Structure 1
Amino acid sequence: MAQILAIDYGKVRTGLAVTDDLQIIASGLTTVPTKELIDFLKDYTKKNSVELFLVGEPKQMNNEASESEILIAPFVSQLRTFFPEIPIKRIDERFTSKMAVQTLIDSGLKKKKRQNKALLDEISATIILQSYLYNK
């Protein structure tokens, strides 16, 4: 087996999370400046076996695509171009940011550390990945 890599795409930063090779455990990987994301993924996939890209799909409460999808759709096209051998699945990412904030609060981090948006993006990607693994 190979890893599943989850992507919480953002305009400025993108949170990443991966599974272990047995696809049992989801762990935060890092947060990457979005403009450097494709290069990061090229390097990462050279060093690690990735079986699937899991990209968050932002939806509104009525199940329609959110405004963020305008930014994400071109990125998904780039993924298909640069990594044609790796399938892409989209997964609903509603509430992941709120869940990530609550995770930081529950972990006992001080308010200043909870304001670290990069950490928040990484945790959001991990929540997306955990959700996928749970429902797989």
Structure 2
Amino acid sequence: MARLLAIDYGTKRTGIAVTDELQIIASGLTTVDTKEVFDFLKDYTSKEDVELFIVGEPKQMNNEVSGSETSILKFLKKLEAIFPEIPIKRVDERFTSKMAFQTMIDSGLKKKQRRNKALIDEISATIILQSYLYNTP
């Protein structure tokens, strides 16, 4: 089996998480500067077999699309063009940043470490991936 790769896209930073080859465990991989995300993905997919991209879908409380969706749609269009053989699924990412921050608190990270926005993005990508794994039959 191939890995699943989750993306928490942001205009500055993009969090990346992956599964193991058996698609059982979701783990944070890294956070990359968004300007470098396609180079990172090209390099990663040249070394690892990726079956599916899972990209967070930001929604508001009333279920309407968030304002950041415009930039994500541009990202998705380019992602599809560069990796036409890898399908893309979307997952509701509401509350992932808050859940990531709470995860950092629960794991005992110090205040200074919790200010690391890159770590929050990586954990958010992991939560998106876990959500996909738990909600897919």
With structure 1 as the length reference, what TM-score do the two structures score? 0.99
Give deviations 1:49-107, integer Å, cap 9, x for gaps.
00000000000111111001011000000010000000000000000000000000000
Please give the alpha-carbon distance, in whole angstroms, between the structure 2 residues aligned to 1:97 and 1:71. 18
**Map of 1:36 onto structure 2:** 36
Matched, 1:65 2:28: no
Give deviations 1:107-128, integer Å, cap 9, x for gaps.
0111000000000000000000
Mapping for residues 1-136 of structure 1, pairs under 5 Å? 1-136=1-136
Q: CA deviation at 1:37?
A: 0.3
Counterpart amino acid of 2:13? R
Instruction: Give the 4+ runs in structure 1 shifted more than 4 A.
Output: none
Please give the alpha-carbon distance, in whole angstroms, between the structure 2 residues aligned to 1:62 and 1:81. 32
Helix, strand or coil at the partner of 2:91: strand
Stretches of structure 1 that go unaligned for 5 or more consecutive residues are: none
Counterpart amino acid of 1:16? I
Q: CA RMSD in A?
A: 0.4
Counterpart amino acid of 1:95? F
Counterpart amino acid of 2:43? D
Helix, strand or coil at the partner of 2:105: helix
Please give the alpha-carbon distance, in whole angstroms, between the structure 2 residues aligned to 1:79 and 1:10. 14
Counterpart amino acid of 1:37? V
Q: CA deviation at 1:4?
A: 0.3
Please give the alpha-carbon distance, in whole angstroms, between the structure 2 residues aligned to 1:134 and 1:117. 25
Helix, strand or coil at the partner of 1:81: helix
Q: CA deviation at 1:23?
A: 0.2
Report the count of equivalent residues: 136
Identity across the alignment (%): 76
Please give the alpha-carbon distance, in whole angstroms, between the structure 1 residues aligned to 2:113 and 2:61. 30
Helix, strand or coil at the partner of 2:64: coil
Helix, strand or coil at the partner of 1:37: helix
